[in-house]
Structure 1
Amino acid sequence: MTRASTSVARATSSFQAMRGLPGSVSFADGEQVLAEWISKATAANGAVYDNKCAGVFTVRDGKITSVTEYADTHHVAATLFAQD
């Protein structure tokens, strides 16, 4: 197994355990990993939350040490923080 594929395997395992959600690792280079996932829920106001997200993870010794997450913040605001 190459170093890159080992990073992807470790990152996928760590990512899925942390999120409890299915996701996919799109790219890994050393400790940096790019992952994508879809978050789905029903908000307290009944609105459907369905947001495609991505994150840049740093993985050291099989553990996630930092995350920068990207999502559609307009959808977050409109769905989760909508004013009635």
Structure 2
Amino acid sequence: MQIELVTKEDLQLFRQQLLGDLKLLMNTSEPKASEWLKSAEVRKFLKISAGTLQNLRIAGVLKPVKIGGLLYYRSRDIEDLLNKKA
């Protein structure tokens, strides 16, 4: 069994590399929008009432996914809906 020693210089170099990588990750351009939105977020974004959102669901315009009693909508579906109306 071979024993390798880790020196203070090795740890310092690792620390600098780690901090550099973290800074690079944190300085990414813009934060990505969430892929899934809750009903309240969709209503606020589209500026519609709960009834209107329900009508969109019933008509099949928006198809939510139900997880744990909450409805989630794919953000791409919302974008597609807005692009169709434009």
Same fold by TM-score greater than 0.5: no
Q: Hey, which of these two has a bigger chunk of helix by percent?
A: 2
Q: Hey, which of these two has a bigger chunk of strand by percent?
A: 1
Based on CA coordinates, which of the two structures has the bigger radius of gyration?
Answer: 2
TM-score category, normalised to shorter length: under 0.3
- After TM superposition, the score normalised by the length of structure 2 is 0.22
- After TM superposition, the score normalised by the length of structure 1 is 0.23
